[in-house]
Structure 1
Amino acid sequence: MTQPLRLFRHPLWLEWRGLIVFLIVMIAFRSAIADWNQVPTGSMKPTILDGDRVVVNKLAYRLRFPLTNWELLRWSAPARGDIITFYSPLDSELLIKRVIGIPGDQIALANNALIVNGKTSEYSRIDNEVITSLDRFQKARHRFFYEHIGQSKHPVMVQPGTATAYNSFDAITVPPGKFLVLGDNRDNSKDSRVFGLVSADQVMGRAFAVAFSMNYDNYYLPRGDRFFQSL
Structure 2
Amino acid sequence: MNQWIRNNRGFLILALLFGLFRTAVADWNPIPSGSMRPTLLEGDVVFVDRLAYNLKLPLSNVVLAHTGEPQRGDVVTFFSPRDGTRLIKRLVAVPGDTVEMRDKTLIINGQAARYAALSEAREALPDGRVIGALRLDENLLGGRHVVQWLSPPGALPVDRFAALQVPPDHYLMLGDNRDNSADSRYFGLVPRELLIGRAQFILASADLQQHGLPRLQRFGQSLRP
Residue correspondence of structure 1 range 10-21 to structure 2 within 5 A: 11-21=3-13
SS of structure 2 residue aligned to 1:142: strand
**Structure 1 residue 76: deviation in Å?**
2.1
Q: Deviations over 1:40-96 (max 9, x none)?
A: 000001111111111100000111121122222113221100111111111110000
Matched residue, 2:97? 105
Matched residue, 2:208? 216
Gapped runs of 5+ residues in structure 1? 1-6
Matched residue, 1:189? 181
The alignment's C-alpha RMSD in Å is 1.9
Residue correspondence of structure 1 range 31-70 to structure 2 within 5 A: 31-70=23-62
Residue correspondence of structure 1 range 30-179 to structure 2 within 5 A: 30-126=22-118, 137-138=122-123, 141-161=132-152, 163-179=155-171
Gapped runs of 5+ residues in structure 2? 125-130
| Matches of 2:122 and 2:74, distance apart in 1 | 29
Instruction: Tell which deviates more after alignment, 152-161 or 78-87.
Output: 152-161
Q: Which amino acid aligns with 2:38?
A: P
| Matches of 2:101 and 2:77, distance apart in 1 | 23
Matched residue, 2:198? 206
**Structure 1 residue 14: deviation in Å?**
4.0
TM-score normalised by L of structure 2: 0.90
| Matches of 1:65 and 1:75, distance apart in 2 | 13
TM-score normalised by L of structure 1: 0.87
Greater strand fraction, Structure 1 or Structure 2? 2
> In 1, are the aligned partners of 2:53 and 2:69 still within 8 Å (CA)?
yes
SS of structure 1 residue aligned to 2:135: strand
List, as ranges, runs of 4+ consecutive aligned residues in structure 1 with deviation greater than 6 Å.
none
| Matches of 2:98 and 2:51, distance apart in 1 | 28
